[in-house]
Amino acid sequence: MTRHPLSYPNSPRGNHVDTYHGVTVPDPYRWLEEPKSEASQQWIDAQNQVTFGYLEKLPGRERIQQRLSQLWNYERYSTPFEWGGRYFYFKNDGLQNQSVLYTLTSLDAEPRVLLDPNALSEDGTVALGGMAVSENGEYLAYGLSTAGSDWNEWHVRQIETGLDTDDHLRWVKFSGAAWTHDHQGFFYSRYDEPDESTKLETVNYYQKLYYHRLGTSQSEDVLIYERPDQKEWGFAGSVTDDGQYLVISVWQGTDSNNLVFYKDLSRPDSPVVELISIFEANYSLVGNEGDRFWFRTDLDAPRGKLIAMDLTQPEQEHWQEIIAEGEDTLEGVSLLNHQFVANYLRDASTALSIYSLDGTFVRPISLPGIGSAGGFSGKRDDTETFYSFTSFTVPNTIYHYNMVTGESTLYRQAEVEFDPGDYATSQVFYPSKDGTRIPMFIIHKKGIELNGRNPTLLYGYGGFNVSLTPAFSVSQLVWMEMGGVYAQPNLRGGGEYGEDWHQAGTKLNKQTVFDDFIAAAEWLIAQGYTSSHTLGISGGSNGGLLVGACMTQRPDLFAAALPAVGVMDMLRYNQFTIGWGWEPDYGSPQNEDEFKALYAYSPLHNLKAGTQYPAVLITTADHDDRVVPAHSFKFAAALQAAHSGDAPVLIRIETKAGHGAGKPITKVIEEVADKWAFLAENLAMAL
């Protein structure tokens, strides 16, 4: 591969300096934190001109995009659910930008379109951000996100007629909707109205829980709960199956620990009662039977257990353990057919079991193979449910499950134009820097030679208790069709082995995550899968931080890096939108010990002038109000200034898009084609 140095846009260095705990830290690209300024807009346009000028000339890019479009063009269904005497599911015909919501009165009835987001914008950038069906199946409350923003506007649709009411709620973020059983309205959470010009950057504090009654204006909504003394608290309301209680989960940033309050809806003037009032564990409501409530919790059980508590005797000494902590991680529990369906993670794959209400084991639920299963939603009396199953080579497949007989019946099976028998999946365990055993999935075409020359993409996340489990991906499939190996390690910081595994990759331990990822790369090279000249790394959001930190710590180890919507400025991340909420994982630069740890790995602050970095394609979006694009902007400017090699270091800035959720299929395909063509060029792949 012949490389010619690129001419990058001018990125003027300012003289801004901050001081943290006596340490002076230059921030020469602070001006890029104002994305709407004329200087920033000119910089964005100039960067995109260079980036797309490079990408458009890559051999095979158009062919990759055509193959992605061809494979993505298959019918995709979500797991159906029943509510209010109706069934609901999402379907995508193949290349629709957004999936369409359908409803039907019985499983053999003719489905009817209830909500088609594709009709709401010409370019598919309006997406469904949330929904809730009223108890009687008469109304749909739904939230819409524009251009990928976390801000949602909520509306109400009459399900029978398909017509919207006049109800319109704004400034809703990080909230669902919970209907009261009189069908007259729902609970939701919102923030005060922000400044329109800075709504994508301004920090989000003081969320409030409201009740909206149908047919009234938002200004008349009833404030149910707020805490002026706790600006970081957020409130997620849900209504119990019997309609008697509003249960409020109180969250603080991304910390998995939460509080639990409740309000008796049978008494209009009842107070909000604090049931769990200390942030010391996670409590997820499973269901109730009168005053008896079941919660999945990790209190004194890092891998999770199921407990029962009685509202008449709420003290901890009266709690009952229903399902004890085991070797596998208890991800979640459903209450169906007066039984518990327990969803476990066993070495990052799903295992399912059914228990009686007293915790007696009933039977396992057999799955088609090693992979990921989800679903099992419904109510306590339901005798049927649905679940989905997927793996790296099995597209999402939906089953109808009989809770009485234990029989699974195939309901929907996706048909994708590929032969899963052509691919091999393995799970390996490798030692990290400190000797900890880390699992990793490796997928590739059968028959590859371990000759150290296979183009390999190493993908990771490692944070926020998020578990990476097997899942089918058209983009990964195309990568493997091109001859690439795909590797996915389960780094510490994730939730694969419970809360201890999560905490082992947070705050002062965050470097452990990067060590795990670097060790995965070294293992793949040592085993002959690939080499430092044919290895690329990829990750998004917190995974973008992972890529940024590892490529700055070990630029010699990788040939290409794809950091997407990454958190790159670890000293400023908590100054924008919901960034402050990530402090439970990252720590705060205001704390001296945590500042030292953050400064030591912050990608922006660890670029070294004169270094030959890998080929880098940074991706971000102008409407990302989760990880504001300034992170990527500043990192790109600093990287281009520090880089001494001929490998391209580019930033691709998507317009009318956000952090990723709701992105139109057309934009997804274009971006993946650009990434794979970039990798092919810089990993010397023969296309």
Quote the tokens at residue 478: 């195309």
Q: Residue 1's pLDDT band (boundaries 50, 70, 90)?
A: very low
pLDDT more than 90, % of the chain: 90
Contact 110, 125 (CB under 8 A): no
How many Å separate Cα 106 from the centre of its chain? 32
Sign of CA dihedral 439, 444, 449, 451: negative
To the nearest 5 percent, what fractions of the chain are helix, strand and coil? 20, 35, 45
What is the tens place of the pLDDT at every residue in 284-317? 999 999 999 999 999 999 999 999 999 999 999 9
Q: What is the pTM of this model?
A: 0.93
The residue that leads in pLDDT, 495 or 197, is 495
Report the C-alpha gap between 159 and 28 in whole angstroms. 54
Q: Residue 194's pLDDT band (boundaries 50, 70, 90)?
A: confident
- Concerning whether 155 is annotated as a catalytic residue, the answer is no
Asked if pLDDT for residue 547 goes beyond 90, the answer is yes
> Pairing between strand 152-158 and 164-172?
antiparallel
Q: Where in the chain is the domain with CATH 2.130.10.120?
A: 75-239
- Concerning whether 532 is annotated as a catalytic residue, the answer is no
Instruction: Supply the pLDDT for residue 658.
Output: 55
How many Å separate Cα 11 from the centre of its chain? 32
SS3 245: strand
Report the C-alpha gap between 683 and 109 in whole angstroms. 52
Quote the tokens at residue 379: 């109510």
**Can you give 492-560 as a three-state secondary structure string?**
ECECCCCHHHHHCCCHHHCHHHHHHHHHHHHHHHHCCCCCCCCEEEEEECHHHHHHHHHHHHCCCCCCE
Report the C-alpha gap between 418 and 36 in whole angstroms. 45
Instruction: Supply the pLDDT for residue 150.
Output: 86
Q: Which of 226, 221, 266, 229 is nearest to 246 (CA)?
A: 266
Tokens 């395909």 belong to which residue?
669
Report the C-alpha gap between 298 and 601 in whole angstroms. 30
DSSP class per residue in 333-357: EEEETTEEEEEEEETTEEEEEEEET
What is the tens place of the pLDDT at every residue in 570-595? 999 999 888 888 999 999 999 999 99
Give the list of residues 6+ apart from residue 22 with CB closer than 8 angstroms, or none: none
Quote the tokens at residue 348: 């990052």
Superfamily of domain covering 75-239: Prolyl oligopeptidase, N-terminal domain (2.130.10.120)
What is the tens place of the pLDDT at every residue in 75-104? 999 999 999 999 999 999 998 989 999 999
Q: Residue 660's pLDDT band (boundaries 50, 70, 90)?
A: low
Residue 332's Cβ-count burial label (10 Å; 0-12, 13-18, 19+) is middle
What is the average pLDDT across 484-507? Answer: 98
SS3 181: coil
Q: What is the mean pLDDT of the chain?
A: 95
End-to-end CA distance of the chain: 13
pLDDT more than 70, % of the chain: 97
Instruction: Supply the pLDDT for residue 4.
Output: 66
Instruction: Supply the pLDDT for residue 656.
Output: 66
Q: Where in the chain is the domain with CATH 3.40.50.1820?
A: 47-69+418-682
What is the average pLDDT across 37-66? Answer: 95
Q: What CATH number has the domain spanning 47-69+418-682?
A: 3.40.50.1820
Q: Residue 601's pLDDT band (boundaries 50, 70, 90)?
A: very high
> Pairing between strand 535-540 and 456-459?
parallel
Instruction: Supply the pLDDT for residue 175.
Output: 96
Contact 463, 494 (CB under 8 A): yes
The single-letter code of the amino acid at 395 is P
How would you list the strands of the sheet with 320-323, edge to edge?
283-289, 292-297, 305-310, 320-323
Quote the tokens at residue 588: 């705060």
What is the average pLDDT across 223-230? Answer: 97
Quote the tokens at residue 42: 């000119």
Quote the tokens at residue 606: 């660890």
Worst-scoring range by mean pLDDT, 298-312, 599-613, 659-673?
659-673
Give the list of residues 6+ apart from residue 195 with CB closer than 8 angstroms, or none: 202
State residue 344 phi and psi, 5-degree precision. Answer: -110, 155
Q: Which is catalytic among the residues 541, 605, 632, 643? A: 541
How many Å separate Cα 407 from the centre of its chain? 32
Instruction: Supply the pLDDT for residue 149.
Output: 83
Give the list of residues 6+ apart from residue 98 with CB closer than 8 angstroms, or none: 92, 116, 117, 118, 124, 126, 127, 128, 662, 664, 665
What is the tens place of the pLDDT at every residue in 153-183? 999 999 999 999 999 999 999 999 999 999 9
